[in-house]
Amino acid sequence: MTQNPIEVRSPLEGYDIQCDTLIIGAGACGLVASLAAHEQGQSVLVVERDVIPRGSTALSAGLIPAAGTKFQHEAGITDSPEIFAADIQHKAKNENDQAIVDLLAENAGKVIEWLAETHDLAFSVVTDFDYPGHSHRRMHGLPTRSGAELIDALRTACETAEIDIICERHAQHLYFDGHKITGASVLGPDGRSETIACQKLILACNGFGGNRALVAQHMPDIHDALWFGHDGNQGEAIDWANGLDAQLKHLGAYQGHGNVAHPHGILITWAVITEGGIQVNTAGHRFWNEAQGY
């Protein structure tokens, strides 16, 4: 299904590299996970398929929703994880797993405050416009409000903590002993494979929007839609999950976001809409209520 064979294999007798926690993917998710694991005394290795850590994070506005934070309090905003969770479920028509929603809503603020206090990320709340679906202003971002700044700040924090990040390494195989993952193999730019033993594995390799075959299989309604994301999102985790007989859920879910400039590949922030912008079709006609959001 993916460009290179992705498999689950039996454990090896020996591995080239060893670490406590192996993280596949060096976007915001993977780098935040690496900082947390390192704080717990783990030896951490992050592998990234690109030349430098960028991913979908760098293509975004770098804004993170969180409720009940000190940044909101300083801005005079009263909010709570419970309200945040209710907003998520309302926007998703109550189709989300409530336990996951509650976990996210309860911990997002704690993570942002931890990143600010421990790793000097200069977060503040966006207070000059509202985001669709959010009943309170809770989007947190760095000064330039860009995903590139966020990923660069996280990478700097990892470098300061001396966390190893190896780029141009495409994860291929997971090694499974029937009970747990024991390691993985990665393919380097020279075509050589390296094996990595680990006690814990974190998959931070995003979704499969860049894999048109998987999109056609799981999301046939949007097979021909414009893909605005990182082309490295090829769905390896789905192949591994199938190889492990793991449960897969909600593979047909997607986010439709019409506020991009094509073919320029530029994200138009939602502030353009909430401050009065409109969208028109090729005939110049406004065709929907843009304030509904994505």
pLDDT reading at 135 higher than 90: yes
**pLDDT average, residue stretch 258-274:** 80
Give the model's pLDDT for residue 1: 40
**Average pLDDT in the chain:** 94
State pLDDT tens for residues 33-61.
Answer: 999 999 999 999 999 999 999 989 998 88
Each residue's pLDDT tens digit, 164-190: 999 999 999 999 999 999 999 999 999
Instruction: Out of 3.50.50.60, 3.40.50.2300, 3.30.70.141, 3.30.30.60, select the CATH number for domain 7-203.
Output: 3.50.50.60
The residue written with tokens 């592998």 in the block is 47
Question: Token pair of 224, please?
Answer: 């021909």
Residue 117 has pLDDT above 90, yes or no: yes
Nearest to 133 by CA among 199, 65, 49, 69: 65
CA 238 to chain centre: 16
pLDDT, residue 138, reads 98
Alpha-carbon gap, residue 128 to 111, rounded angstroms: 23
Structure tokens at 108: 């997002």
pLDDT of residue 264 exceeding 70: yes
Checking if the pLDDT of 2 tops 60, the result is no
pLDDT digits (tens, 9 = 90+) for 68-87: 999 999 999 999 999 999 99
**Separation between Cα atoms, residue 144 and residue 58, nearest integer Å:** 12
For the record, the structure tokens of 145 come out as 């409000």
Delimiting residues of CATH 3.50.50.60 domain(s) in the chain: 7-203
State the pLDDT confidence band at 265, using cuts at 50, 70 and 90: confident
Residue with tokens 């997002």: 108
pLDDT, position 17:
98
pLDDT of 128 > 60? The answer is yes
| b/e burial code for range 181-205 (CB count within 10 A of at least 16 → b) | bbbbbbbeeeeeebbbbbeebbbbb
Mean local confidence (pLDDT), 233-251:
95
Which pLDDT value is given to residue 4?
55
Per DSSP bridges, beta strands 17-24 and 44-47 are parallel
Question: Are the C-beta atoms of 43 and 20 separated by less than 8 Å?
Answer: yes
Q: Is it the case that residue 5 has pLDDT exceeding 80?
A: no
pLDDT category, 276, cuts 50, 70, 90? confident
